[in-house]
Amino acid sequence: MLREGDPAPDFELESDEGSTVRLSELRGKPVVLFFYPKDDTPGCTKQACGFRDAYGEYERRGVLVLGVSPDDVASHAKFKAKHRLPFTLLADVDHQVSELYGVWGEKSFAGRKYMGVSRSTFVIDPEGNVARAMYGVNAERNPDDVLAAL
Protein backbone atom coordinates (compact mmCIF):
# COMPACT_ATOMS: atom_id res chain seq x y z
CA MET A 1 0.00 0.00 0.00
CA LEU A 2 1.14 3.48 -0.79
CA ARG A 3 1.43 6.03 1.96
CA GLU A 4 1.24 9.78 1.94
CA GLY A 5 4.64 11.19 1.03
CA ASP A 6 5.62 8.19 -1.12
CA PRO A 7 6.56 8.88 -4.73
CA ALA A 8 3.55 8.08 -6.92
CA PRO A 9 4.42 5.12 -9.16
CA ASP A 10 4.82 6.31 -12.74
CA PHE A 11 2.75 4.62 -15.42
CA GLU A 12 1.72 4.86 -19.03
CA LEU A 13 -1.86 3.94 -19.99
CA GLU A 14 -4.11 4.37 -23.00
CA SER A 15 -6.94 6.90 -22.60
CA ASP A 16 -10.56 6.70 -23.67
CA GLU A 17 -9.55 8.78 -26.72
CA GLY A 18 -6.74 6.40 -27.70
CA SER A 19 -3.87 8.66 -26.63
CA THR A 20 -1.20 7.67 -24.15
CA VAL A 21 -1.09 9.28 -20.70
CA ARG A 22 2.10 9.11 -18.67
CA LEU A 23 1.86 10.28 -15.06
CA SER A 24 5.37 11.78 -14.98
CA GLU A 25 4.42 14.08 -17.87
CA LEU A 26 1.69 15.65 -15.72
CA ARG A 27 4.06 17.06 -13.10
CA GLY A 28 3.50 20.68 -12.16
CA LYS A 29 -0.16 20.31 -11.25
CA PRO A 30 -2.02 18.15 -8.74
CA VAL A 31 -3.66 14.97 -10.05
CA VAL A 32 -6.60 13.04 -8.62
CA LEU A 33 -6.30 9.41 -9.67
CA PHE A 34 -9.42 7.43 -8.84
CA PHE A 35 -9.56 3.67 -9.34
CA TYR A 36 -12.93 2.02 -9.84
CA PRO A 37 -13.93 -1.59 -10.59
CA LYS A 38 -16.06 -1.42 -13.76
CA ASP A 39 -17.62 1.00 -16.23
CA ASP A 40 -21.36 1.59 -16.05
CA THR A 41 -22.06 -0.30 -12.83
CA PRO A 42 -24.18 1.46 -10.17
CA GLY A 43 -21.42 2.39 -7.69
CA CYS A 44 -18.88 3.28 -10.34
CA THR A 45 -21.41 5.44 -12.16
CA LYS A 46 -22.24 7.30 -8.93
CA GLN A 47 -18.55 7.90 -8.27
CA ALA A 48 -17.74 9.05 -11.82
CA CYS A 49 -20.82 11.29 -12.01
CA GLY A 50 -19.87 12.77 -8.64
CA PHE A 51 -16.50 13.76 -10.07
CA ARG A 52 -18.33 15.08 -13.15
CA ASP A 53 -20.67 17.21 -11.04
CA ALA A 54 -17.78 18.65 -8.99
CA TYR A 55 -15.46 18.98 -12.00
CA GLY A 56 -15.78 22.78 -12.19
CA GLU A 57 -14.38 23.06 -8.67
CA TYR A 58 -11.51 20.71 -9.51
CA GLU A 59 -10.72 22.86 -12.56
CA ARG A 60 -10.84 26.07 -10.48
CA ARG A 61 -8.28 24.52 -8.15
CA GLY A 62 -6.07 23.48 -11.08
CA VAL A 63 -6.50 19.75 -10.40
CA LEU A 64 -6.45 17.14 -13.18
CA VAL A 65 -8.90 14.24 -12.63
CA LEU A 66 -8.18 10.78 -14.08
CA GLY A 67 -10.29 7.64 -13.69
CA VAL A 68 -8.69 4.19 -13.95
CA SER A 69 -10.30 0.76 -14.33
CA PRO A 70 -9.50 -2.58 -15.98
CA ASP A 71 -12.04 -1.89 -18.73
CA ASP A 72 -10.78 -1.37 -22.28
CA VAL A 73 -10.68 1.86 -24.29
CA ALA A 74 -13.95 1.13 -26.14
CA SER A 75 -15.81 0.54 -22.87
CA HIS A 76 -14.37 3.76 -21.42
CA ALA A 77 -15.40 5.75 -24.50
CA LYS A 78 -19.01 4.50 -24.21
CA PHE A 79 -19.14 5.14 -20.45
CA LYS A 80 -17.68 8.63 -20.86
CA ALA A 81 -20.12 9.58 -23.64
CA LYS A 82 -23.17 8.11 -21.91
CA HIS A 83 -22.58 10.06 -18.69
CA ARG A 84 -20.92 13.17 -20.23
CA LEU A 85 -17.77 12.73 -18.18
CA PRO A 86 -15.41 15.71 -18.72
CA PHE A 87 -12.25 13.96 -17.54
CA THR A 88 -10.01 11.26 -18.99
CA LEU A 89 -10.54 7.55 -18.31
CA LEU A 90 -7.53 5.24 -18.49
CA ALA A 91 -7.56 1.57 -19.48
CA ASP A 92 -5.59 -0.65 -17.09
CA VAL A 93 -6.60 -3.85 -18.88
CA ASP A 94 -3.75 -5.95 -17.49
CA HIS A 95 -4.24 -4.36 -14.01
CA GLN A 96 -0.52 -3.55 -13.78
CA VAL A 97 -1.12 0.00 -12.52
CA SER A 98 -3.80 -1.19 -10.09
CA GLU A 99 -1.21 -3.58 -8.66
CA LEU A 100 1.42 -0.80 -8.40
CA TYR A 101 -1.03 1.30 -6.38
CA GLY A 102 -2.09 -1.63 -4.18
CA VAL A 103 -5.74 -1.64 -5.26
CA TRP A 104 -5.83 -5.00 -7.09
CA GLY A 105 -6.74 -8.02 -5.01
CA GLU A 106 -9.29 -10.58 -3.97
CA LYS A 107 -12.83 -9.34 -3.56
CA SER A 108 -16.12 -11.07 -2.90
CA PHE A 109 -19.63 -10.41 -4.10
CA ALA A 110 -22.71 -12.50 -3.31
CA GLY A 111 -20.49 -15.14 -1.72
CA ARG A 112 -18.29 -15.41 -4.83
CA LYS A 113 -14.60 -14.56 -4.68
CA TYR A 114 -12.80 -12.94 -7.61
CA MET A 115 -9.87 -10.65 -8.38
CA GLY A 116 -10.65 -6.99 -8.95
CA VAL A 117 -10.04 -3.35 -8.15
CA SER A 118 -10.79 -1.89 -4.76
CA ARG A 119 -12.34 1.57 -5.17
CA SER A 120 -9.50 3.88 -4.09
CA THR A 121 -8.34 7.42 -4.77
CA PHE A 122 -4.94 9.10 -4.71
CA VAL A 123 -4.15 12.79 -4.69
CA ILE A 124 -0.75 13.30 -6.30
CA ASP A 125 0.99 16.59 -5.64
CA PRO A 126 2.67 18.69 -8.37
CA GLU A 127 6.05 17.10 -7.55
CA GLY A 128 4.72 13.58 -8.17
CA ASN A 129 4.29 12.43 -4.56
CA VAL A 130 1.23 10.89 -2.93
CA ALA A 131 -0.42 13.69 -0.95
CA ARG A 132 -3.44 11.54 0.03
CA ALA A 133 -4.02 7.81 -0.22
CA MET A 134 -7.66 6.86 0.22
CA TYR A 135 -8.36 3.11 0.09
CA GLY A 136 -11.81 1.53 0.04
CA VAL A 137 -13.64 4.81 -0.52
CA ASN A 138 -17.40 5.38 -0.56
CA ALA A 139 -18.53 5.83 -4.18
CA GLU A 140 -21.00 8.64 -3.46
CA ARG A 141 -18.90 10.62 -0.98
CA ASN A 142 -15.53 10.18 -2.69
CA PRO A 143 -15.57 13.29 -4.95
CA ASP A 144 -16.53 15.59 -2.05
CA ASP A 145 -14.10 13.90 0.34
CA VAL A 146 -11.29 14.46 -2.13
CA LEU A 147 -12.20 18.14 -2.54
CA ALA A 148 -12.15 18.53 1.24
CA ALA A 149 -8.68 16.94 1.32
CA LEU A 150 -7.20 19.30 -1.29
Is 49 one of the catalytic residues?
no
Q: Helix, strand, or coil here: 38?
A: coil
| DSSP notation for 88-132 | EEEE-TT-HHHHHTT-EEEEEETTEEEEEE--EEEEE-TTSBEEE
| DSSP notation for 82-95 | HHT--SEEEE-TT-
Interatomic CA distance for residues 98 and 20, integer angstroms: 17
Tell me which of 13, 23, 33, 44 is the catalytic residue. Answer: 44
Of the candidates 125, 146, 150, the one whose C-alpha atom is nearest the C-alpha of residue 48 is 146
Query: Backbone dihedral region of 88: left (phi > 0), alpha (psi from -120 to 50 degrees) or beta?
Result: beta
| Residues annotated as catalytic (active site), given as ranges | 44
